[in-house]
Amino acid sequence: MDYFAQQLINGLVLGSIYGLIAIGYTMVYGIVGMINFAHGDIFMIGGFIAMISFLVLVSLGLTAIPLILLIVLLVSMVITALYGWTIERIAYRPLRHSFRLAPMLSAIGMSFVLTNFSQVSQGARVKPVPPIITGGYTLHEGSEGFAVQLSNIQIVVVLATIVLLAVFTWLVSRTRLGRDMRACEQDQTMASLLGVDVDRTISMTFVIGAALAAVAGMMYLLYYGLVDFFMGFVAGIKAFTAAVLGGIGSLPGAMLGGLAIGLIETFWSAYFSVEYKDVAAFSILIVVLIFMPTGLLGRPEVEKV
Amino acid sequence: MSGDPILTVDRLMMRFGGIVAVNELSFAAERRKITALIGPNGAGKTTVFNCITGFYRPSGGAIRLAHDDGRSIQLERLNDFRISKQAKVARTFQNIRLFPGMTALENLMVAQHNALMRASGLTLLGLLGLPSWREAEQRAIELARTWLDRVGLLDRADDAAGNLPYGDQRRLEIARAMCTEPALLCLDEPAAGLNARESGGLNELLLSIRNEQGTSILLIEHDMSVVMEISDHVVVMDYGVKIAEGTPQAVRDDPKVIAAYLGADEEEAIAVMESGT
Amino acid sequence: MSATSARPSHAAQPSGSAFILKKALISAAVALVLFSLMIGVRTEAGPQGGLIYWTRFGDLAAMVGTVFGGSIIIELLRQWWGPVDKDRIVPKPVQAAMSFAGRWLAPALLVFAFLVPVIFYNQRYILDLSILVLTYVMLGWGLNVVVGLAGLLDLGYVAFYAVGAYSYALLATNFGLSFWVCLPLAGILAAFWGVLLGFPVLRLRGDYLAIVTLAFGEIIRLVIINWQSLTGGPNGVSGIPRPTLFGIPLDNSDDGLAAKLGIEFSPTHRIVFLFYLILAMALLTNWVTIRLRRLPIGRAWEALREDEVACRALGINVTTTKLTAFATGAMFGGLAGAFFATRQGFISPESFTFQESALVLAIVVLGGMGSQLGVALAALTMIGGFELFRGFDQYRMLVFGIAMVLLMIWRPRGLIGHRAPTVFLERNQAISSDLVKEGHG
Ligand SMILES: Nc1ncnc2c1ncn2[C@@H]1O[C@H](COP(=O)(O)OP(=O)(O)OP(=O)(O)O)[C@@H](O)[C@H]1O
Ligand SMILES: [Mg+2]
């Protein structure tokens, strides 16, 4: 039971990270109708920028951990968001009304560019950082010496996710930008006729998605204490799986799907085998798509004949 | 209704969530006759077609097809492609659905897929280029040529279907449906977007299909001149239910129909306009 | 970035030097922010395990300067060319010349391919490279059946390549079966896996199919890595037997081919043999595909790509039709995989990554979906281009990624922009690719 509770906590934390990435996939898919293959690498870039800025801040002599974290968060969100904006501008916008495969290949190409850019510029080796947020609570002391732990870093990850989701939900449901985004999702031509700046709205979608991915990257760095240039690929596929599982296009669905994937992966590793945890996640994707093609919260797609 | 129906629709129901698009609809289409299904926009006509041709699974009711040889098939139990393959029901679409990147001739060859698959020994004999396959292919090309000629597109056989003018595309779609050698041909607004001359030609084509091929035709049409001129029997729908049926003259004089549809000139004009876009 | 720059009209575009400068400055500023930390600061795990860093402001300045200069050049070029559209980049006469060239290009390439071992007999490097190119030509032609003809997006094609390679490797090393027995088996097994995967997932449309095939490719790779007892895990399988000329080995033993023919042995013999083997396999793939296109099954594939709903209305069983396309493509992938295994003599999971799938897909799309000649040209360009960066291993994938983006922007429909009809009455005229659909599945 204790073991189960511990895995539940771990799974929720991992799921929060996946959920944050998944939102970027789902938003872009909702508006532009493409899988942004480079999004996993945006997450990786976010992690790198958090790592570098943290290192620089510490070496500059800053010691107040909360202040450092706040600055790192802002820096990585802003710079990573600019990556998202630039990529849309360079690689996707010229292909927006092109054939379906062209933007997808362009996105795959962009994903290679980012992966290898970071490999070339920062080296191929794993970058470890010392634990930044330490300490925690013991929730329950088990009879066989097994204790359920809730570390501070886990609390930070979950809290940050919740706060960001609240801000984000407010953004898409209450603001002008959110309304424009929903309008573009329904019908871009109509939206532009009604005075919505479609280009800008799509850009903002990429910016927001990238900023959330940057947060996920930073959380990953804090939680696992390392980043490497290849981490975007697998995390990206899993987050996309999460988006599909939740129902692509649905924002709560993305978060829900993220949590589900995080839990599945954690429990699979805990009770079956660590080696096959990714196989489990991908198999679930296939099974879900076969039996529930619209995901948990997705709208059913009607085929008009 | 007496006679020899090829298609009997019995209390057909189709719901989409809360919307009841077709409500307990019953009618029959006579063999070797042209039956028209008319009604204002949104009456549920296309939905009936989709149920007959297996694109939608009806929420209730039965659709029976009686072949010349006495074989009777429950269409609501078959899925889409079997309806064309086994039940020999062909259709066209309200929004033309040709294969735009293939030539007119290729479109008609694709329509003969099942026959050609058999002739090519499920591809294996064809891969070896056996003479029996070559003959079958030649016959298929001849059939396609015949139909291209009948719809007046012989000289455009090698042009991409997507490059043909609108009226030609409509006729090509009918030719393609006929290449499946159907017992029942379902046409969804074949005259939509055609000018008067073209729609006159369409009338002749449909009559000749009925008279020469002996194909039964079920027709959705907003263009009343077409309906009045060629149909043998008319079924009128409104809001998913049948409000009248009979000969074209009888329907035209039916006050219920006039109220719902024909009488309101304005609406008819709008209907014709909208179906053309 | 102003609204006017998006307007297609040439005359309306601002063109003053102030505008160009402003644009370049903005680009440089963006680059500065993007690269500030990623290039300006270099991190590395230090000797004690902790991270250390050093700054590289020189590199950063150089990059920003490059972006600034590049932006000016691109803007100047753009104003010189006028609005970017297809006719501008490839002028009509050139297009006409290209379609004319297309008529004799294919036979010329074929003749040249046959002569490669004669011309370059002493240049081992070129022979090896040609074998590599031909392998990708074959893979491209195989995937072309799935993506180009049937319009099904398969991002996990490498899975079938892997199945073929491991089938041969394991059958040959464990049971001592010869290459010629294993080759068809590898094809059949790959096709079998294609059906197994395809059966449940081919109902999915578009991007869902893409992501499921991608997941499948990863699953196969992960299983290969983790099922150590069967596959040797990350260490791979080594000692895979070399192919024989119908039982006669190509080595310097007494019953080797050289001894039998009474000529002096040279390792080049085997390379030449491998070259003609893959050439034959690729040509077989091509022949079968061209043949299939003119058969009802191939026409149904293309019809499926054009309009699936219409296919169903015409009585075409969409599921089996898709399955046959998937299985055919998988089979060719498997055959190529078996060849890869016998050529390398050693295989490991590293050869079957997503990058490989992406490369083959890029070849197909760049070739111009469905065009056999285009795929061959694209494979030649891509693999050849890749080779140019042999010395700069680090930058290879980076350049490959950039090339993919640029090529897509330049020619979203690929090199060969038209489709040849499969049957005609009077005139055999090509169909512009603008009309050809690319499928939803
Ligand atoms: N797939 C679907 N999902 C939900 N509602 C549908 C669907 N198909 C049809 N409907 C609804 O069913 C009703 C009937 O539509 P249908 O297309 O059958 O009308 P119609 O008689 O063919 O009209 P028109 O003359 O304009 O073609 C409409 O209210 C339509 O919105
Ligand atoms: Mg209709």
Neighbours of chain A (3+ CB pairs under 8 A): B, C
Q: Which of A116, A118, A283 is opposite residue C38, by nearest beta carbon?
A: A118
Same domain, B265 and B197: yes
Going by C-beta distance under 8 Å and a sequence separation of 6 or more, which residues neighbour residue C165? C186, C337, C338, C340, C341, C347, C351, C352
Q: Is residue B71 part of a domain?
A: yes
Structural domain for B39, as ranges: 1-88+184-277
Residues B105 and B1 placed together within one structural domain of the fold? no
If asked whether residues B81 and B17 sit together in one domain, one would say yes
pLDDT in the model for residue B2: 54
Spatial contact of B185 and B193, defined as CB atoms under 8 Å apart:
no
Residues B80 and B140 in one domain: no
Q: How far is CA C283 from CA C244, C290, C291, C324, C421, in A?
A: 20, 10, 12, 20, 21
CB of C182 closer than 8 Å to CB of C175: no
Q: Where are the alpha helices (DSSP H) in C202-267?
A: 206-226, 228-231, 257-261
DSSP states along B47-89: HHHHHHTTSS--SEEEEEEE-TTS-EEEGGGS-HHHHHHTS-E
Within a domain: B94: no
Q: Please check whether residue B30 lies inside any domain of the structure.
A: yes
Intervals of chain A under pLDDT 70: 142-143, 145, 300-305
CA of B39 to the centre of ligand 1 (A): 12
Q: What is the pLDDT along chain B (277 residues), one digit of tens a residue?
A: 457 888 898 999 999 888 888 988 999 988 889 999 998 888 889 999 999 998 888 899 889 888 888 888 888 888 878 887 888 899 999 999 999 989 999 999 999 998 888 877 777 777 777 778 888 889 999 999 999 999 988 898 888 899 899 989 999 999 999 999 999 999 999 988 888 888 888 888 999 999 888 899 999 988 888 888 888 999 988 888 888 888 888 888 777 777 776 445 545 544 544 454 3
Q: Which residue, B266, B132, B113, A262, is CA-closest to C300?
A: B113
Q: What is the ipTM of this complex?
A: 0.88
Tell me if B257 sits within 8 A of B243, measured CB to CB: yes
What long-range pairs does C255-264 form, CB within 8 A, spacing at least 24?
A: none
Q: Please report whether residue B120 resides in a domain.
A: yes
Is any atom of ligand 1 closer than 6 Å to the C-beta of B19? yes
Same domain, B117 and B28: no
Q: Are residues B200 and B234 in the same domain?
A: yes
Residue B257 lies in a domain: yes
Residues B83 and B193 in one domain: yes
Q: What are phi and psi of C41, to 5 degrees?
A: -125, 130
pLDDT of residue C92: 66
Q: Phi and psi at residue B41, in whole multiples of 5°?
A: -55, 140
Q: What is the secondary structure of C277-343 as a DSSP string?
A: HHHHHHHHHHHHHHHHHTSHHHHHHHHHHH-HHHHHHTT--HHHHHHHHHHHHHHHHHHHHHHHHHH
Domain ranges of chain C: 17-84, 102-432
Last residue of a domain, one of B133, B161, B181: B181
**Is A147 touching C (CB cutoff 8 A)?**
no
Which residue bears the tokens 């006929």? B178
Q: Which of A95, A104, A84, A89 is nearest to C84 (CA)?
A: A95
The chains in contact with chain B, meaning 3 or more Cβ pairs closer than 8 Å, are A, C
Give dist(CA B277, CA B166) in Å, integer: 11
Which of A114, A127, A286 lies closest to C201 in CB terms? A286
Q: Domain containing B163 — which CATH number?
A: 3.40.50.300
Specify whether B16 is located in the same domain as B58: yes
- Please give the model's pTM, rounded to 2 decimal places: 0.87
C102-432 is a CATH 1.10.287 domain: no
Does any ligand 1 atom lie closer than 6 A to the CB of residue B192?
no
Positions in chain C whose pLDDT score sits under 50: 1-12, 86
Q: Which of C99, A303, A261 is nearest to B16 (CA)?
A: A303
* Residues B205, B177 contacting (CB under 8 angstroms): no
Ligand 1 atom having least distance to the Cα of B237:
21
Residue-level pLDDT at C27: 92
Nearest Cα of chain A lies from the Cα of B230 at a distance, in angstroms, of 26
Q: Which residue is closest to B46 within chain A, CA to CA?
A: A305
Interchain contact, C404 vs A105, CB within 8 Å:
yes
C312 and B80 within 8 Å at the Cβ level: the answer is yes
pLDDT confidence of residue B277: 38
Structural domain ending residue among the three candidates B146, B181, B216: B181
The predicted pLDDT at position C11 comes to: 44
Give C4-63 pLDDT, tens digit per residue: 344 344 444 556 788 888 989 999 999 999 999 999 999 888 888 788 889 999 999 999
**DSSP helix/strand/coil, C347:** strand
Contact C342, C348 (CB under 8 A): no
* Domains in chain B, number: 2
Domain boundary, last residue among B181, B211, B246: B181
In the prediction, which pLDDT does C113 show?
A: 80
